[in-house]
Amino acid sequence: MTSNIVESWNSVFKGTRNLPVTPIVQSTYYRLACLFADRAQKAFARVGSGDLFSEYCQNAIKDDIAKSNTHHVEQFDREKYTFSVRETVNYREGRPMGTFKVDLRAGWCDCGKFQALHLPCSHGIATCSSFRHDYTTIIPAVLKNESVYSIYNTTFKVVQDKSYWLPYDGPVLCHNPNMRTLKKGRPNSTCIRTEMDEEVVERTPTPRQCGLCRHIGHIRRNCPSINNR
């Protein structure tokens, strides 16, 4: 019922999710404002340095460029941009060595890395080198530093003081003090309580039994079976 991205966000908001709605929205807003400002500054610095692609893209294809030098392109169709690449060195990537089909127009490779990461794998880079084609032309434009900068170049307005806010006319929500995290002592449960948790199940207390004879009405210290022994 959950995924990795949901669990990631759950850990991010673990310290604020038990607070009222207003602090949760305020924390989320200011976190995003700081995140976008930091990412935009880093992307602008990479654009100014002359780097064409993002840091993630460069790190992803760094090893593939070195691996492409050991591949051998046996057959290819230049009109359809379809190639057959044979590996000569086993890099122990969890699959056996073999021959892979590469389709540059469709962004396809039999290894599955090309269509999974949307980046040219080592076989795709080897095919581009075989007929002197620049492999950077098949990298999506969204991974360029200019695109990354345009995404994070979003301004957030600073929230004014409460004295400048317009008067609010509506229901007033109050938080549950039992849901707040304790600063000292044993922490409260972090699970989100529902109607099922609020129900109180009435249980009948079980009478205490003796540790020797297992009868009710006395304990081990004054058990009558001791005198019989």
Using the structure block, give the residue that is written with the tokens 């249980």.
203
Per-residue pLDDT tens for 112-164? 889 988 889 999 999 998 888 898 888 888 888 999 999 999 888 888 888 89
> Is the pLDDT score of 202 beyond 60?
no
Per-residue pLDDT tens for 158-181? 888 888 988 888 998 887 877 776
Within a 13 Å sphere around the CA of 165, how many CA atoms are in the beta-carbon half?
Answer: 9
Per-residue pLDDT tens for 104-113? 888 899 988 8
Q: So what's the pLDDT on residue 41? A: 92
The letter for the amino acid at 113 is: K
- Cβ-based neighbour number of residue 214 at 10 Å: 7
The more confident residue out of 170 and 200 is 170
> Is the pLDDT score of 3 beyond 80?
no
Percent of the chain's residues with pLDDT above 90: 17
> Is the pLDDT score of 220 beyond 90?
no
Backbone angles phi, psi at 35, to 5 degrees: -65, -45
Name the DSSP letter for residue 216.
Answer: B
pTM of the model: 0.57
Average pLDDT over all residues of the chain: 83
Average pLDDT over every residue of 200-206: 59
Per-residue pLDDT tens for 46-64? 889 888 888 888 888 888 9
Sorted by where each begins, the domain ranges of the chain are 9-51+149-156, 55-138
The letter for the amino acid at 177 is: P
Q: So what's the pLDDT on residue 45? A: 92
> Is the pLDDT score of 12 beyond 80?
no
Ranges 7-16, 33-42, 80-89, 185-194: which has the least confidence = 185-194
> Is the pLDDT score of 199 beyond 70?
no
Within a 13 Å sphere around the CA of 5, how many CA atoms are in the beta-carbon half?
Answer: 0
Strand partners, 216: 209
